[in-house]
Amino acid sequence: MKYSVEVSETESVRYLHFGSEWIQGAMRIARPWALEVAYTREMLLPLLLRAEPLRRCLLVGLGAASQLKFLYRYFPDARFCVLEINPDVPTVARQCFKLPDSPRIDIIIDDAVAWMATHAPQACFDLILQDGFDAAGRIGALSGATFYARCHAALDTGGAFACNLLEHDRGFQANLRRIRRAFSGRCLHFPSGDNGNVAAFGFAATPWNFTLAELRERALSLKARTGLDLRPALSRLQLTVATPDGKLRL
């Protein structure tokens, strides 16, 4: 799918657009490895739930490569597969958003729905991050029940799926229901952010049972290592997820 890929700058922040005013990614020029947009940080909540190091990550939609650059920098043993439908996006990401050239990053120009139909049964990802929209802010077939089920099938037993949804989209609640069915109810989501973005998650088979105190300790450790502070995200999560006895159970 071809659409125009454009870049703008305001107050030292560079933005990616797909032929409209919709922001498809952002980078603070002085901090190219940081996660500038709030929902991109919240989508990384699964980093607090993993006992094992991140090894294999699939990203559906490259955009400005914000999450990819962050994970590439702070998880040096991880390898990344990126599905991007527009061949111009990787070029712009390299030229304007400091996407590194590395053998650890495999960028595949393909329709993610078609790719997953062929590759999901053989895949084994620790983390799948989905942030794919067209120029009008539509998810299209990436929100289908079959695609979510294939994402579940492509995870290892301790893996997690995270996606960016828009609360104002009329299919938002239906999307959440499809994720819930695909992951047998093992899901959660954040409340809507300032721009209407909602980070939603589905989890594979390994049961998790964490106290909020444990998660905050992990968040402190992650912040010390990477600068990413997910403690505010944990507080926001309690607005939509029950935590009886101060525990998060999945």
- Kindly list the domain boundaries of the chain, sorted by start residue: 37-207
Using CA atoms, how far apart are residues 82 and 87, in angstroms rounded to an integer? 12
Using CA atoms, how far apart are residues 223 and 210, in angstroms rounded to an integer? 19
Q: What pTM value is reported for the model?
A: 0.94
The residue-averaged pLDDT of 215-241 equals: 92
Number of H helices, E strands in the chain: 8, 12
Instruction: Please determine, for residue 1, whether its predicted confidence score (pLDDT) is greater than 60.
Output: no
- Give pLDDT, residue 98: 96
- pLDDT for 126-165, tens place per residue? 999 999 875 556 777 888 999 999 999 999 988 999 999 9
**Phi, psi for residue 79 in degrees, rounded to 5:** -120, 150
Instruction: Please determine, for residue 101, whether its predicted confidence score (pLDDT) is greater than 70.
Output: yes
- CATH number assigned to the domain with residue range 37-207, chosen from the 4 options 3.60.10.10, 3.40.50.300, 3.40.50.150, 2.60.40.10: 3.40.50.150
Let me know: does 159 contact 123? Beta carbons within 8 Å: no
What sign results for the dihedral spanned by CA atoms 38, 40, 41, 42? positive
Residue length of the chain: 250
